[in-house]
Amino acid sequence: MQNVLVTGLNGRLAPYLKQALEKQGIAVHGFNRQELDITNRAQQLGYVRGHHIDAIFHLATGPEEWLACLAGIAGEENIPMLFTSTESVFNPESTGPFTPEHPADAVNDYELYKISCEQAALAANPNTIIARLGWQMFDNFEQDNLLTHVRDMHAEKGYLAASTEWLPAVAFVEHSMQCLVTLAQQAKPGIYHVGGNEQGLSFYQLVQMINQKYQLNWDIRPGSDPQRDGRIIDSRVACGSIAEQLAI
């Protein structure tokens, strides 16, 4: 890969993907949606050809038709197409750990939208790579991520009740984005899970480690709700460990 298209560069995750790509000397291009009509296939195909795009990473939120259009263009141009989905495609009443073979059985609107996106991408281009991500942790308390979420939970009550029975799907964002680059470079088409909590940290253990690493002096109390293994695992994907990232 030398010139890639990344959608969603104004969002939370795509800028980290841009950094991971540029570290490898790969040029990153993004649509200016004020100038380019995402409903116009000819314009998008012209952009891909004009910028010599040799891979597409679709991280933006948008209609399934846009995703299908980009996937179809990638198929026509015979270049890698990667779409990021979510572990939320699994019903919260189900328990894991979830492998890519586990049926996507979510019932809420956003999760059903993500399932529909996966189906649209594969229908338009069977060679699409779908990477399901879990909860992402950044190394700062500024952007919307795991750290800001638990900080706000603690601030709301003055303490944080954290379940010892919930094993969340969580990964450090830099690790996840490097996995996306590797998948686009090396993976066969299909669905992949980008985990990070293979060691099985509970939410309680996770926030205890955050508390210690960032010297927060939080009041963290063990709880038992929810009771669920929400991890996503995939033996084909080597993602960095969240436990190692949080280790002192």
What are the start and end residues of each CATH 3.40.50.720 domain in the chain?
3-135+169-194
Q: What pLDDT, in 10s, does the model give residues 20-54? A: 999 999 999 998 888 889 999 999 999 999 999 99
Mind listing the pLDDT tens digit for each residue in 97-155?
999 999 999 999 999 999 999 999 999 999 999 999 999 999 988 888 999 999 999 99
% the chain with pLDDT above 70: 100
CATH architecture group of domain 3-135+169-194: 3-Layer(aba) Sandwich (3.40)
Number of residues assigned to the chain: 248
Residue 247 has pLDDT above 90, yes or no: no
d(CA 167, CA 160): 16
Instruction: Give the model confidence (pLDDT) of 179-202 as tens digits.
Output: 999 999 999 999 999 998 999 999
Q: Cα–Cα distance between 240 and 197 in angstroms, integer?
A: 9
Q: What confidence score (pLDDT) does residue 19 get?
A: 97
Query: Rounded CA gap, 121 and 83, in Å?
Result: 8
Q: Is 97 helix (H, G, I), strand (E, B) or coil?
A: coil
Q: What is the amino acid identity at position 82? A: L
Residue-level pLDDT at 100: 97
The pLDDT value recorded for residue 196 is 85
pTM, two decimals, is 0.95
pLDDT at 224 over 70: yes
Q: How far apart are CA 59 and CA 69, in angstroms?
A: 14
Phi, psi for residue 167 in degrees, rounded to 5: -110, 100
Indicate the average pLDDT of the chain.
Answer: 95
Q: Of 33-37, 73-77, 130-134, 223-227, which range is least confident?
A: 33-37
Q: What is d(CA 12, CA 165) in angstroms, rounded to the nearest whole number?
A: 29
Q: Determine the Cα–Cα distance for residues 89 and 162; give it in Å rounded to an integer.
A: 23
Q: What is the pLDDT of residue 57?
A: 98
Q: In this predicted structure, what is the pLDDT of residue 129?
A: 98
Handedness of CA 71, 75, 77, 83 (dihedral sign): positive
pLDDT at 211 over 90: yes
pLDDT at 248: 60
